[in-house]
Structure 1
Amino acid sequence: MRPYLLLTRRSFQILLTLWALVLAGEASAQEIEICYNFSCKTRQTVTLSQTEWHSIIGWFYPGATSAAGEREQLRRAIGWMEVVMGRHTPTHRDKGLNLEKNPKFPGQLDCIDESLNITTYMHLFESQGHLRWHHVMDRAYRSGGFDAHWAGQLQEVATGERFVIDSWFQDNGMLPYIARSAEWEDLTEARIVLFSGAD
């Protein structure tokens, strides 16, 4: 065989190997921007390892066989995402409900922080094909009840029904609350805190 053909083939193999390494590197470096310290006062970009990211998206496998099943998968993925993000940020200190702002203990999230972070997570899951039964929507807002409040929101593809996903009521890493948007608008704080399941 002619030497220049061997060189060409060898060069091609090297290029393929380098391309595979580039793709693997992209898969292992999942960058996510989150915010905390009330009204997104602090913004931080976190780079998750491939192992960390797989531990989060693993909640979506095997794929859900219903919209309700996917909401439960999403609930668990977001709860675990908060745990993983808390390893890289002071958000592991976050306690449910709003506490007094304390600069000595950064990492607390209000409903603005929580809803923006959840929406970021859901957009990421959707863009990578992990959500098949839902579309991510703009955040939900309500002004009635105990206070003005924000939450993440998604829409079921088949029915068009909207659901909120809200982790403000729980400590970091606890499973967030999910309910139909219409029901969420009428809920009291106590009922949400006591809620433990997903529709």
Structure 2
Amino acid sequence: MSACLVGWLSPARGAAALEVCFNYGCATRVEVVLEEDGLAEVAAVLAQALDADSERAAIARAVGMMQQLAAGQTPIAADRGGNFLDEGVTGRMDCIDHSTTTTHFLELMAGRGWLRFHRVLPIERRAPWLVLQHFSAAIEEVDGPVAVAAVPAERTVVPDYVAPMLALCECGEVLADIAPAVAAPAGLEPAPVPGHNPGARFAVDSWFVDHGEPAVVLPLAEWLNGEGPNVQ
């Protein structure tokens, strides 16, 4: 039954293909292949996160890093924050391009087990007026880590929190495969985590910034209310 732990403990390796779109409204769509070396740097940034707050900061950086990786195969390095500074330039990205591409980036991160404190949500839209719609990628904080940071294949490490979480999901057969040393002591309650807020939702909006800079991550309610850098 140890195969049940593959999604938790086995690092996903190798290049990854995903779609990047640009030229406003996803008018141009290109499949890019992000190489293993570049992705390993992204994974390393996300692996440093110790809680949901630090993971959101890492996500912001990771989105910018993945844009830079994708710029090797597309002209999106020409993109600037907002819509006016790069108007008419090939490779420009509006909020539809950004929200779509950033969501693809986030889905890759989640699919490889790099997001431990968040899940990816569908694209969000705000529309104070019909002609002023704006879109953003979005994430939601989850109740506890959902994956384990990648470790070398020759040395599998099971963190202390894995066994209690598997116990809560009634994976008894899986727990039988884990050494007794990592089992949860009887009656032990998890320590409170400052800032822990499962269910909190956040916009991950890379439209606000120039190409390759960290995305803006802010509470979704604030974003829906029009918050964010003052760009046009």
Same fold (TM over 0.5): yes
Maintained 8 Å contact 1:140/1:153: yes
Cα drift, residue 164 of structure 1: 0.4
Equivalent in the alignment of 1:171: 210
SS at match of 2:140: strand
Which stretches in structure 2 are left out of the alignment for 5+ residues? 1-11, 144-197
What residue in structure 2 maps to residue 192 of structure 1? 229
Residue equivalent to 2:100: 116
Amino acid at match of 2:106: M
Structure 1 equivalent of residue 64 of structure 2: 79
* In structure 2, distance between residues paired with 1:41 and 1:120: 16
Structure 1: how far apart are the matches of 2:35 and 2:142?
31
Larger radius of gyration: 1
Cα offset, 1:101, TM superposition = 4.6
Structure 2 Cα separation of the partners of residues 65 and 58 of structure 1: 13
Which letter maps to 1:46? V
1:32 to 18, 26, 29: 18
Q: Is the 8 A contact 1:83 1:172 kept in 2?
A: yes
Q: Select the structure that is richer in helix.
A: 1
The structure showing larger relative contact order (alpha-carbon pairs under 8 Å, at least 6 residues apart) is 2
* Aligned residue pairs, count: 164
- Provide runs of 4+ in structure 1 moved above 4 Å: none
Q: What secondary structure is seen at the aligned counterpart in 2 of 1:33?
A: strand
> Given the alignment of the two structures, is residue 43 of structure 1 paired with residue 26 of structure 2, yes or no?
no
**1:117 partner amino acid:** T
- The sequence identity of aligned pairs, in percent, is 31
Q: Secondary structure at the match of 1:108?
A: coil
One-letter amino acid of the structure 2 residue matched with residue 127 of structure 1: G
String of CA shifts for 1:30-73, please: whole Å, max 9, x gaps. Answer: 111111111111110111221122122221123x2211111011
Structure-2-length-normalised TM-score: 0.66
TM-score, normalised with respect to structure 1: 0.77
Q: How many Å apart are 1:27 and its aligned residue?
A: 3.5
CA distance in 1, matches of 2:57, 2:210: 18
One-letter amino acid of the structure 2 residue matched with residue 192 of structure 1: P
Structure 1 residues 104-143: aligned runs within 5 Å? 105-143=89-127
> 2: CA distance between counterparts of 1:101 and 1:192?
19
Change (3 A) 1:129 1:42: same
Q: Distance in 2 between matches of 1:27 and 1:186?
A: 40
Asked if 1:150 corresponds to 2:187, the answer is: no
CA distance in 2, matches of 1:36, 1:177: 19
Structure 1: runs of 5+ lacking an equivalent: 1-25, 195-199
